[in-house]
Amino acid sequence: MIKLILGLQFGDEGKGKITDFVSNEKSILVRYNGGTNAGHTVVTDKGKFKFHLLPAGSLRAKSVVLGNGMVIDPAAFIDELKEIQKENLSLDVRISSAACVVTDMHKYIDREQEKIRGDMKIGTTSHGIGPTYEEKYSRNSIRIGDLSDLGIIQRKLKLIREIRYSEIKNSPYMNDDELMKMAANLHRTWETIGKYVCRTESFLMDAVKKHEDMIFEGGHGSLLDIDFGTYPYVTSSNTISGAMHTGSGVSLRKVDSIIGVVKAYTSRVGEGPFPTELHGTEAEELRAAGGEYGTTTGRPRRVGWLDIPLLRYTAELNDIDQLAITKLDVLGSTKKIKICTSYGKNVINPINALLGKEKPEPQYIELDGWGNLSDEEIQQMIKRGYSSLPEKMRNYVETVEKLVNIPVSIISIGQIRGSTIQKN
């Protein structure tokens, strides 16, 4: 069985928790886009685990693959792997030799570009993601496979420095010793990661032929897609389902099921349009209830109501088969829950409305909250299944199902690993 799991909003939908739920000891897990700008939290009885490069099911999977579509900071990878290997000793790891390397110079450029943008800033994670993808497409990038060769690293760094002179002329990297130190540090990472590096597409194609259990985990959210998201307030990779093919080498046609993860409300980190955004006390209460602070940067996330016009758009873009709804427990404490069902009669195309070409006037329906659930109640509901959920919560789930016209198959009602219910 091959599953593809991705987020349908602006990221942080709870994809990590769902990947962890769906994975098991036989799974091969694959990341295919982005880098450490992604942050997925998984909470088990052993504590809180944060994933940035490794797929979120790595705690118990058989095998993980970091695909060619990723941009990888080698030192960050080594640190993250060390932590996860403490829990999953036998985890088998593969990194694509074609993935691009994020260097400290690219993080510097990311920060500088944001300064230059001024009030046009994007609010990036400063993890060097955009500049590294620029390097990839200008064909100057250091790729993971290059880390074995100090000479290549040095030549590429010098080339990048020359081409990007105007961006880095005030940086420490103009100093040859600094640049060479960076080259040596990058090369040194090969001692640890070299054994994991290969043409991952061959391994994956083979796994498909052997009918292995595979889960592809998308980073970020669909509305952060470089082409279809709220450009320029997006990340620098494609985040929709098709990115899985170009980012791993496995055809989307091999996927049995595409699962779209939806948070029961909406959140966004960084700048960009957000029609259903809440402000003031309402926002503060929801942010506090949901612990809405970035996994990667710790920034407070902007929060708002569920946005159906956007979900319809991203569900169609990704060709979603089933929905997973997360954080229903968080919404319960709100007395009257709103769902935006349309942007008003004047809006023809929701993404145009987001891009400022049409003016969204969100229209809401109101549903009753189901109150706070105690840990004990949640445990009982998990044992008894969907029909034991509060009627008002089921009404919320079924309303979303009808409005988006896609079945909800997974329901998450708590942060802890077990608090997830399979609906069908």
Of 154 and 334, which has the nearer Cβ to ligand GDP?
334
Count the Cβ atoms, other than its own, within 10 Å of residue 242: 16
In sequence order, the β-bridge partners of residue 408 are: 323
What is the rounded CA–CA span in Å between residue 11 and residue 40? 10
Q: Looking at beta carbons only, is 124 or 141 nearer to ligand IMO?
A: 124
The yes or no reply on residue 235 touching ligand IMO (CB under 6 A) is: yes
Put the strands of the sheet holding 257-263 in their side by side order: 197-198, 92-96, 63-66, 28-31, 214-221, 2-7, 257-263, 322-326, 408-412, 420-422
Do 267 and 223 form a contact (C-beta atoms < 8 A)?
no
The distance of closest approach from Cβ of residue 129 to ligand IMO in the complex, given in angstroms and rounded to an integer, is 4
SS3 221: strand
Which partner in ligand GDP, Mg ion, ligand IMO, none is near 123 (CB below 5 to 8 A by kind)? ligand IMO
Stretch that binds ligand GDP, among 195-203, 277-285, 325-333, 396-404 (CB under 6 A): 325-333
Nearer to ligand GDP, 222 or 412 (CB): 412
Q: Is 43 a binder of ligand GDP (CB under 6 A)? A: yes
Give catalytic residue positions. Answer: 12, 40
Bridge partners of 367, per DSSP, are: 337
Q: 266 with 10: CB under 8 angstroms?
A: yes
- 259 touches ligand GDP by CB under 6 A: no
Q: What is the dihedral of CA 141, 66, 247, 99, to 10 degrees?
A: 10
Tokens 């319960």 belong to residue: 332
Per-residue x/- mask for Mg ion, residues 18 to 57, rule CB under 5 A? ---------------------x------------------
Residue 330 interacting entry, from Mg ion, ligand IMO, ligand GDP, none, C-beta within 5 to 8 Å by type: ligand GDP
Q: What is the DSSP string of 391-406?
A: HHHHHHHHHHHHHHTS
Residue 224 or 373 with smaller CB distance to Mg ion: 224
Which of 94, 106, 127, 327 contacts ligand IMO by CB under 6 A?
Answer: 127
Residue 12 lies near Mg ion (rule: CB under 5 A): yes
Q: What x/- string results for residues 281 through 320 when contact with Mg ion is judged by CB under 5 A?
A: --------------x-------------------------
Residue 220 interacts with ligand IMO (CB under 6 A)?
yes
The answer for residues whose C-beta is within 8 angstroms of residue 32's C-beta and 6 or more apart is 67, 68, 69, 70, 216, 218, 243, 244, 246, 247, 248
Binders of ligand IMO among residues 286 to 315 (CB under 6 A) are 295
235 binds ligand GDP (CB under 6 A): no
Position 402: which residue type?
Answer: K
Size, binding site for ligand GDP by CB under 6 A: 22
Q: Which of 146, 153, 107 is nearest to 130 (CA)?
A: 107
Q: Which stretch binds ligand GDP (CB under 6 A): 34-42, 101-109, 225-233, 393-401?
A: 34-42
**Binder to ligand IMO among 4, 5, 6, 12 (CB under 6 A)?**
12
Buried b (16+ CB within 10 A) or exposed e, 135-166: bbeeebbbbbbbbeebebbbebbeebbeebee
Beta bridge partners of 306: 339
Write out the residues near ligand IMO by the rule CB under 6 A: 7, 11-12, 37-40, 122-125, 127, 129-130, 219-221, 224, 235-236, 269-270, 295
| Interface contacts to Mg ion, rule CB under 5 A | 12, 39, 295
